Structure formats: C-alpha cells, structure tokens
Amino acid sequence: MIAPSIVPPGSTIGILGGGQLGRMTALAAARLGYRCLVYAPDEHAIAGDVAAGCVRGAYDDETALRRFADQVDVVTYEFENVPEAAVAACLEVRPVRPGIKPIHIAQHRLREKQFFASLGIGTAAYQPVRSDAELAAATLLPGILKTCREGYDGKGQARVRDRASLAAAWEKLGRRDCILEALVDFRCEVSAIVARGLDGAMRCFPIGLNEHRDGILRTTTVPADLPADVLATAERLGLALARGLDLVGLVALEMFVTGDGTVLANEMAPRPHNSGHWTIDACATSQFEQLVRAICGLPLGPVDVMAPSRMENLIGGEADDWPRHLADPSARLHLYGKTSARPGRKMGHVTFVQPAASGRPPTT
C-alpha cells in the first residue's frame, strides 16, 4: 500500500513556468516514468516542447490554474516569481511542493535577508531604501542598490559610489522598494543546492564554485577548490535554510566567501538552479531528478561527484558555437530550444567533464 502523499511513477507532475528549468525537470521526470503538464503564459514555452502537455494561461487566471491542478497529481514551480495567489489556487486542488512559504520569502529581498538572520545565516550589511527619508539615511556606500522584487541575473540593481549616484539609481529603478547592500569584497562565490524529502531527509549537492559576469552566472566548477571548513560551512548554511523553510523540494543558496573564509548568504531560490546544471552530467543524481524524487515522496538519490566538471552557460550568440562543443569529447551540450537569442538570454549550457583516468582538467 502506497502512502497517500507519495506520488508514484506513472503519475503526472504539474510545472508552473515554461523555461529551461521546467524543461530539464520534465526530461528527468520522464526518465523516472512520470508525465509532466506545463502551465505558462508564454506563446512558446520551451518546457512544453518536452512535456506530455502544455497549458497556455495567465498566472492570474485562477480558474485555469485550478483546472490545470486538477489534471495533475502534484504541482511544483520552476521560478520563484510565480504569484503567491497562483500557487494558492493550485493548492486548493493539489499539493504544491515546495509550497507558498519559500516563494513568499524569496520574492522579496528584505524579507529574505530577515529570514536568513532568523536562521543565524549572515549576509552583507544592508539598509532598506523605500522612501526619501530612507534614501537620505542610507550610508552603505559604495554599495549595490537592488529592487526588493523581481530582480534576477543582475537586473533591477545598480552599483552606486556616492550619494548622488545612489539617488540617481533609485530614480532609475522607478523609486521602487529597494535595499542598499554594502559591497562584499569576496574571494569567490559558491552555492549549495539542498534537497529535502517528504520525510524530512536532506541531501546537499557538492558545493559549486561560481563565476559571475555582469550579474549573470557564467561558470560553475565542481569540486570547488576551497578549504574543507569553508565547504562545510556553505553546506551547513544550505541545510539550515532547507530545514528553516520546512520545504519539500530543492533550494539553492548563493553565497560569498570572503578572504578570511567567512561565508555570507546572497540570495536563495526554491527551485533547481543554474549552478546545479553540472549535476546532469557529472553527479550520481541530477538536481532535476532530485527535485522529482523529493516532490513525489521518493527516496533522495546519492550526490557523489562522478567526475570533476565545469559548466559554462551559453548566453545569447554563444550558443551558435554548438558545432565546436559537439566536436569536443569532454563537452556535454545542452541547448534549450529558444528561438531568439537576445543578448543576456541563457540559450544553453555546456558541461566539460574530465575524461575518466585522463588526469587532465576539463578544457574549453
């Protein structure tokens, strides 16, 4: 007899959001014998291309959302800016994992920082900038001004040197609710991706070493060449976050590591994460399979590194380089099937996997 909250293979998973994270989730789910139904407002949802079905609908169409949820056995989301009301509508009909609380927190930078603090997870110093009075009181300069909502890949943020550039940046961001963060003089950036199952069991993927350019993730290298205590701290913070959120699913925590080995949280995402794409080709269980296992109540998979690897994002026109990657025996190419390559758009990624027994680091 199967416990009622377990969603066995053969069932249907609903995915809110139609991008590459949903696409790779649907591919992993299919391998385990699940069907996926995607719900997205996009005219062309690339996740829908590889799913059993795709519903085109708006995130504020609660009737359509309830109808969608009624056709699936469990619902998840592939991006954290799905409106809370959309998740609530699905929840009336089916379990939504990881649920509302993680997106409620992740959708607002100030709330997120306060939540980190409540768990004893350190962050950069910050001050809210939501009014002329708070703007006048802001002192963390030079710093980074970030909108509280809807910032991603470096969007909705500006580096500011002094009071004049701070005021100008706030105007440019539409005087929206913001936080001013002190600039962290970091040695490197890392991320922890933690899965938590229905039974509360947790697994943290090996910590990835991340390189960003212009606010966008460019590469992730695993294993991260960092002292064992730094890696252990990063993992501990990731686990504390997953436990604190009480989530069933995945959460990624992006962190800064400073010169003295202090680890500070930057932001979290309660979904598969770009810095975990290496797991498809170089880990015993991919982050996408792990998400499926977690939300369906299956046992979590092992997270051993199968080979040292480096993931590189293919952004905009870089995806046109696919013939070169196909010719490289160490490269595992993933293209997302997006039709227009706008600058800054993630079109695919390639994971360079160290060939077995070669002893050589992966090359581009």
Looking at the Cβ atoms of 179 and 240, the one nearer to ligand AMP is 179
Please answer whether residues 34 and 12 qualify as being in contact, where contact means their C-beta atoms are separated by less than 8 angstroms.
Answer: yes
> How near is the Cβ of 139 to ligand AMP at its closest, in Å?
15
Q: Which of 17, 48, 57, 151 binds ligand AMP (CB under 6 A)?
A: 151
Looking at the Cβ atoms of 122 and 215, the one nearer to ligand AMP is 215
Told to check if 149 binds ligand AMP by CB under 6 A, we report: no
Measuring CA to CA, which residue among 82, 94, 89 is closest to residue 269? 82
Instruction: List the interface residues with ligand AMP, window 88-127 (CB under 6 A).
Output: 124
Contact code string over 172-211 relative to ligand AMP, x by CB under 6 A: ---------x-xx----x----------------------
Looking at the Cβ atoms of 54 and 234, the one nearer to ligand AMP is 234
> How near is the Cβ of 210 to ligand AMP at its closest, in Å?
7
Please answer whether residues 316 and 341 qualify as being in contact, where contact means their C-beta atoms are separated by less than 8 angstroms.
Answer: yes
Looking at the Cβ atoms of 54 and 190, the one nearer to ligand AMP is 190
> How near is the Cβ of 181 to ligand AMP at its closest, in Å?
4
Task: Find where tokens 């962190």 sit.
Answer: 255
Told to check if 144 binds ligand AMP by CB under 6 A, we report: yes
Provide the token pair at 7: 């969603």
Distance between CA atoms of 317 and 304, rounded to whole angstroms? 33
Instruction: List the interface residues with ligand AMP, window 298-357 (CB under 6 A).
Output: none
Told to check if 212 binds ligand AMP by CB under 6 A, we report: yes
Distance between CA atoms of 44 and 166, rounded to whole angstroms? 38
Looking at the Cβ atoms of 224 and 294, the one nearer to ligand AMP is 224
> How near is the Cβ of 189 to ligand AMP at its closest, in Å?
5
> How near is the Cβ of 33 to ligand AMP at its closest, in Å?
35
> How near is the Cβ of 253 to ligand AMP at its closest, in Å?
11
Sign of the CA dihedral 223, 152, 314, 293?
positive
Contact code string over 246-285 relative to ligand AMP, x by CB under 6 A: --------x-----------xx------------------
> How near is the Cβ of 123 to ligand AMP at its closest, in Å?
9
Residues in the interface with ligand AMP (CB under 6 A) total 13
Q: From residue 118, how far is each of 83, 115, 186, 244 by CA, in Å? A: 24, 5, 23, 9
Interacting residues with ligand AMP (CB under 6 A): 124, 144, 151, 154, 181, 183-184, 189, 212, 215, 254, 266-267
